[in-house]
Structure 1
């Protein structure tokens, strides 16, 4: 039976501000849960280029986009307009709304609100390319023109100043993990409640039977996901099979890196149904990113599949290591290196993980749990006072 979400502030006008609608990723899954809880909400976003086949859940929603939607080459190169984004997000007219919720990993929290409005920011992360991952992004940029790196550094400095200033205008912060809450405290000097993103548990079927011999890695193919590390590890152990699902700018480089390794299959983009089947039949799911939260490891656990994850960031909150005994749902490898992953993989294969324990852990991140905790937070914040439920 489909679980119906509670509808918060039914008689109040609610605006949800989301950075951009381009792919149906983790941030969009949170947005999906929010628009179910606030069905009356209007959505404001810099651009909406979400493919129709991925955006069925947005059907019938009133969506406002910024001027960026119509700028040249924005569909492909919207990120290149980063210096304009603070100005553009400040142009949204939110007069008449009682509650503003920003779903932000970049600039959405910078919307201008008025004293009579409440502004809650669900923060997926402080802007990582302006703060803790600045040097990594600059290294990956590969600047070709003299002076370009200096210009980008100055731009990011301005973005940090704007990012800090706008954080002071938010009434309440909600972080998607304790990991992100710590960064909000460090960079913004603000305290945040923690509300983990939801997992669509009903979409994943538990497999408590025999599994196939392969391991699975899946993510968008971008540098910080560290698929290169996983590929390098499996090139050293040809008796083990690896399947990699995902598309992105790193595809060609990763294909070249895996060339000649018959035990590694790069499958490219796969529809959700296929990815779910691959998760359910894999011996283990491998996750090498230092991620803010990371929802894919939980989706794998919803299938009963244990996870090998880099022991930093959100994976420390989503994967229960061997210290949990029979309730363990995977292992963490301590260093972001191929050698560390292989050493942990050797130990992983000597252990037995209960698929039911994996499933039970994933269920604590379900949509109903998300809505229940969201309601409790709204009560704690006393948003709109005694008008919060009609």
Structure 2
């Protein structure tokens, strides 16, 4: 069956883009539609269409583009006679319709738009301007969510959010994680080819705890540093983003050694995951890919008690759910995680492989 894959916008990296790539491998004949494409190399062998927003400066300003996306998704010019649409949505992509074609629309929801439905979890929705228009956006969003033939959620946590926001039920299909790739090398240190990364890896204070994500406020990497101090263990913080300067300042003031690793290569990140004693993940997340990657590397995880990330590990076996996401409770979680027995990484992560995702998403559309 010829289909159309729909995605918000395409970037060079990101969990949602990885889901789109897995969808594309599942449906090799499908075309792709997005608001704009900032990573044309990712789907170079495939037809990718952009909306009119791609020809405007708004493509560089997502927050400003948000109200215009409502209209941009409606009545898309079809490049073929499609039999279905599969929509990867974390904002308004599920609003998409085709001009002169009425086809089944299957929605894979990473989350209903946090801006308007859960501003307490996304600072971008906390401004007075966004709060003032959110009731209008919520009404349209709920109404257009009823158009979907079926909806899949990336976690039970998001499934409940979909019920609350859209008054729809959803099937849970966990997103694909590169577990097979991580499991393919028992020691990722041997795959680190950059000399500066090798030197940094060799010089780290051990044993250490690890925090890894984008350097943005809601990921709460500051709590990883604070929890490491309370647990009396060195910490490594890996990622990149606008919070780098703040995190470096916290690292300099910390009472334990804290290393900031900016933009690690995949091999470096996987080596850090393998070398860490515990991986700490404080945020309330829709799913949480990196905790699964940590388990594939054989490292137990510690998370807060709320969010999709608590569905990614077996408590008391490959991870610990702390009583809260405070530094004190995370530190207690670290101590409990250090006492866990070794677990089998393949068994712990089998449900999150790309093969598992591709089987489920194919059945979902079929």
In the superposition, the TM-score normalised over structure 1's length comes to: 0.82
Q: Which residue, 31, 44, 52 being the options, matches 2:33? A: 44
1:74-96 CA deviation, whole Å, 9 max, x = no partner? 33x23332121111222522372
Partner residue, 2:307: 313
Q: Partners in 2 of 1:31 and 1:192 — Cα distance?
A: 19
Q: Which residue, 104, 107, 114 being the options, matches 1:128? A: 114
1:279-309 CA deviation, whole Å, 9 max, x = no partner? 1221121111111111111111111111111
Q: Partners in 2 of 1:84 and 1:267 — Cα distance?
A: 37
Decide whether the 8 Å contact of 1:83 with 1:155 is kept in 2: no
Partner residue, 1:29: 18
Verify: 1:93 aligned to 2:77, yes or no. yes
Greater percentage in helix: 2
Partner residue, 1:177: 155
Q: Secondary structure at the match of 1:40?
A: coil
CA RMSD of the aligned region, Å?
Answer: 2.4
Partner residue, 2:358: 371
Q: Partners in 2 of 1:182 and 1:136 — Cα distance?
A: 15
Verify: 1:242 aligned to 2:235, yes or no. yes
Partner residue, 1:80: 64
- Between 1:94-103 and 1:176-185, the stretch displaced more is 94-103
Partner residue, 2:94: 109
Partner residue, 2:52: 67
Structure 1 residue 152, shift from structure 2 partner: 2.2
Q: Partners in 2 of 1:186 and 1:136 — Cα distance?
A: 15
Q: Partners in 2 of 1:299 and 1:293 — Cα distance?
A: 12
Q: Secondary structure at the match of 2:46?
A: coil
Partner residue, 2:175: 197
Structure 1 residue 214, shift from structure 2 partner: 1.4
Gaps of 5+ in 2: 189-204
Counting only pairs closer than 5 Å after superposition, residues 270-349 of structure 1 correspond to structure 2 as 270-322=264-316, 328-349=317-338
Structure 1 residue 350, shift from structure 2 partner: 2.7
1:217-270 CA deviation, whole Å, 9 max, x = no partner? 111111211112112222344x41111111112222222222233511111111
Partner residue, 1:257: 250
Change (3 A) 1:136 1:38: closer
Q: Partners in 1 of 2:353 and 2:339 — Cα distance?
A: 30
Structure 1 residue 115, shift from structure 2 partner: 7.0
- Between 1:157-166 and 1:39-48, the stretch displaced more is 157-166
Partner residue, 1:163: 141
In the superposition, the TM-score normalised over structure 2's length comes to: 0.88
Structure 1 residue 26, shift from structure 2 partner: 1.4
Gaps of 5+ in 1: 1-8, 144-148, 323-327, 380-390
- Between 1:255-264 and 1:328-337, the stretch displaced more is 255-264
